[in-house]
Chains A and B, each alone.
Chain A
């Protein structure tokens, strides 16, 4: 028998014309602690709700133990959920809340048993046997609740009103209520989101302990990367309804597949670089030794260096790769977090236990295997467009002026716009199209942002620091719009 308990096959979910989950496939092993990690709106909760049965996928299949459960309603699925805001039944006490699922389960079992007894022996004996059933189930429920309460550390709370409990206690009741049914898979939808930091950390460890003790599969949804790293066996990083990376915490942290994952998990320096050759990378006008191979000659890449992997040394030290000046230094308890501006005006985030003061000249040293090279997802914006009229081309949700020599009106074309050629302006109305800033990456010398305009995304390099969800307008100069014949896709 295969080891996979839950499998998502090309699952999509469409809300109002937008794919919240976009063609994801994922296998989850029995007994695994899997975390779906991503920023809000990335589709992680929707994915969980499709496994629970509260949402039906628009396309694709959800398999449990190899059988499709897409058409199984939530109350018949052998999974249980811990909800974001506990969702305890306010009219029941702790005991009744936890007993809710068990009572239903036993009622079903009892009905079957009763029919069996009635069929097997004479009426009088049957009546007595049925009478004996009730206390048996009652005792079983009581014993189970007692043990689950003990596990979540709430022994003796049976008869408390759920409204009189603290947030942490309510969360424990919610976990107990789900666990007592011994589900094959436990789904947790940001269960610790409403708790304060200290309690959250405590509960993280407790949940992990429970997982180890029970051996059932946990699927956990969170936007907190630290939580994901602490608890999971496997982390699934999602963005815009698409899975970016699946891996164990160490790999996800050390070997992020793209700039988004690198930025989202842990703190990092991300720079634009080029690979002149195998094991050599050039960024910040400096050539570094690295360990990555298999890139095209002079391929443009993203370079990731974790702040704890940059070593600061005296500026006169011969080993230093780059020289710079400390421009800020903050004490963080275990280490100092410093910003260092290199000679070529590139900003590095550095964590070091030694203190350097603002204004100090420093040398920076980076070990080859601490430099992580990632393929760029895109090096320019490419859209399908149509020639509207002479010198006007429609693409990316707007109509732009461009040189259309050699193209007929109405012709479909490929449009290419460089990342540096897109201008972002404050006033949404003044732009050719308007949209919202979605992703922001600091690249040492500039920002890389994504602007979402309706169904189109503009990737932009900019010197201006924008904030998430800023409303902005997009302007592109005619000379920066390059058109290609439709068949010649770049």
Chain B
């Protein structure tokens, strides 16, 4: 009670800000607004193209010409009225299949690589880690050309398989880097405990190590899938002329001045929202998990 009263008294006694102080507060407020608006402006610039795509999905034509409200493009996307739209859908299917295949193989090889590297002695481990960083740091175009020449020399027909193999070669190291920290922080005596209780090395790996590194594998899988979807350079060099992924399809259409389907805009918007939804669900689940961990 006494404390509260003194506090109140003190508050009442608090003097009005001096001129210097007022100046300081004003400046600080200005700085605050300036900083805020800078961030918003930056975000806006990043998102303008996406916002445009979403808006112009509801407009006539295939480009960003003057806005004329119409649902033709959306209708075309879902009814596949034109040849262009059907071609686009085939390319999308290819992209998604390659994405899943690449993500699967990259996760498989990346995880095995991480497990192997982790159990190596220090010298060999560092050498292999550096070696596996090369595909990450070197330009896609170099790897693309190299693989193209390789397939040509070996007389391998380019297509779905060559793209998947090439992308896996480039993307697997990323997965490895996302799995490796999980393995490093794992208590390896858990693996030994499983062996001790009679599990064969393979079984111990499946029952004990895999569940522990699952989060790393999962985020590696998602990363691999998005990297594969994004890829243009490697796909362009390791595909045949009739095979198209979404990115190479758009490029071919623009380069050949052919009719780019207007349905591309709503399709892009759709992909954007799908990825956004996946991301939101993933993050939500992650925060829920960590909350659960804290509760424990």
**Chain A interface (Cβ within 8 Å of chain B)?**
52-54, 73-76, 79-81, 83-85, 87-91, 100-101, 104-105, 161, 163-164, 177-178, 181
Question: Whole-angstrom distance from the CB of A9 to the nearest CB of chain B?
Answer: 23
What are 10 pairs between A and B in contact, CB < 8 Å? A52-B196, A54-B192, A75-B199, A81-B193, A81-B196, A84-B189, A85-B187, A85-B189, A89-B208, A181-B197
Min C-beta distance of B285 to chain A, whole Å: 17
B193 touches A87 (CB 8 A): yes
Contact B193 A75 (CB under 8 A): no
Which one of A75, A91, A100, A163 contacts B200 once the chains associate, using CB atoms below 8 Å? A75
Q: Is B195 positioned at the interface, with any CB of A under 8 Å from its CB? A: yes
Q: Which residues of B contact A (CB under 8 A)?
A: 187, 189-190, 192-201, 203-204, 207-208, 211-212, 296
Residue in B closest to A98 when the chains form the complex, CB atoms: B197
Q: Are B296 and A75 in contact (CB under 8 A)?
A: no
Q: How far is the CA of A84 from the CA of B188 in the complex (A)?
A: 12
A84 shortest CB reach to chain B, Å: 7
When chains A and B are docked, how far (Å) is the Cα of A291 from the Cα of B173? 73
Q: Is the CB of B189 within 8 A of A164?
A: no
Chain B residues near A83: list those with CB within 8 A. Answer: 189, 192-193
- State the CA gap A487–B115 with chains docked (Å): 55
Contacts of B190 in A (CB 8 A): 87-90
Report whether A75 and B196 are in contact in the complex, using a CB–CB cutoff of 8 Å: yes
Task: List B contacts of A85 (CB < 8 A).
Answer: 187, 189
Q: Is the CB of B197 within 8 A of A101?
A: yes
Known: A100-B199, A101-B198. A75 touches B208 (CB 8 A): no
Q: Are A90 and B193 in contact (CB under 8 A)?
A: no
* In the bound complex, CA of A80 to CA of B201 (Å): 16
For B204, the chain A residues whose CB sits under 8 A away are 75
Nearest Cβ distance between residue A356 and chain B, in whole angstroms?
50
Choose among B187, B199, B208 the residue that contacts A104 (Cβ–Cβ < 8 A).
Answer: B199
Are A100 and B197 in contact (CB-based, < 8 A)? yes
Complex contact A104–B192 (CB within 8 A): no
List the A side residues contacting B211 at CB < 8 Å.
91
Q: How far is the CB of A456 from chain B (nearest CB, A)?
A: 26
Closest to A74 in B: B195
Pair A161/B296 contact, Cβ less than 8 Å: yes
Which of A52, A76, A164 lies in contact with B296, CB distance below 8 A? A164
| CB closest residue in chain A, given B203 | A104
Q: Which residues of B contact A163 (CB under 8 A)?
A: 296
Give the docked Cα–Cα distance between A85 and B190 (Å): 9
Give the shortest distance, in Å, between B125 (CB) and chain A (any CB). 16
List of B residues within 8 angstroms of A76 by Cβ: 198
Q: How far is the CA of A456 from the CA of B199 in the complex (A)?
A: 43
Name the residue among A76, A101, A163 with the largest chain B CB count within 10 angstroms: A101
> Which residue on chain A has the smallest CB distance to residue B295?
A164
12 other A-B residue contacts (CB within 8 Å) besides A87-B187, A100-B207: A52-B196, A53-B195, A73-B195, A74-B195, A83-B189, A83-B192, A100-B194, A100-B199, A104-B198, A105-B198, A161-B296, A181-B197
Q: Contact check, B197 vs A104: say whether CB atoms are below 8 A apart.
A: yes
Complex Cα spacing A181 to B212, Å: 24
Contact status B192-A75, CB under 8 Å: no
Looking at A85, A100, A181, the one whose CB has the most chain B CB atoms below 10 A away is A100
CA distance A54 to B190 in the complex (A): 13
The 9 closest A-B pairs by CB, nearest first: A101-B197, A87-B189, A87-B193, A104-B198, A91-B211, A74-B195, A81-B196, A75-B195, A83-B189
A81 to B191, CA, bound (A): 12
By beta carbon, the residue of chain A nearest B198 is: A104
Residues of A within 8 A of B187 (CB): 85, 87
Cβ of B197 to closest chain A Cβ, rounded Å: 3
B192 partner residues in chain A, CB cutoff 8 A: 52, 54, 74, 81, 83, 87
Instruction: State the CA gap A75–B192 with chains docked (Å).
Output: 9
Closest-CB distance, B201 to chain A (whole angstroms): 7
CA distance A89 to B193 in the complex (A): 9
Give the interface centre of B190, B201, B211 by most chain A CB atoms within 10 Å.
B190
* In the complex, residue of chain A having the shortest beta-carbon distance to the beta carbon of B200: A75
Given A75-B204, A163-B296, check contact A181 B198 (CB 8 Å).
yes
Given the interface pairs A75-B201, A163-B296, the reply to whether A89 lies near B189 with Cβ below 8 Å is: no
Cβ of A75 and Cβ of B189 under 8 Å apart? no
* A53: chain B residues within 8 A (beta carbon): 195
Q: Which of B195, B196, B208, B212 has the most CB of A within 10 A?
A: B196
Contacts of A88 in B (CB 8 A): 190, 193
Residues of B within 8 A of A84 (CB): 189
Chain A residues in 8 Å Cβ range of B200: 75
Please indicate the chain B residues that have their CB under 8 angstroms from the CB of A178 in the complex: 196-197
Question: B210's closest neighbor in chain A, by CB?
Answer: A91
Judge whether A80 and B196 touch: CB under 8 Å.
yes
In the complex, A164 Cα to B204 Cα: how many Å? 23
| A359 CA / B201 CA spacing, docked (Å) | 67
Once bound together, how far apart are the Cα atoms of A89 and B187, in whole Å? 10
User: Measured between alpha carbons, how far is A136 from B89 in the docked complex, in Å?
Assistant: 55
Given contacts A54-B192, A87-B192, A80 and B197 within 8 Å (CB-CB) = yes
**Is the CB–CB distance between A89 and B196 below 8 Å?**
no
Q: How far is the CA of A185 from the CA of B196 in the complex (A)?
A: 12
User: In the complex, which residues of chain A have a beta carbon less than 8 angstroms from the beta carbon of B212?
Assistant: 90-91
Complex CA distance for A52 and B189, rounded to whole angstroms: 13
Cα(A105)–Cα(B197), bound, Å:
9
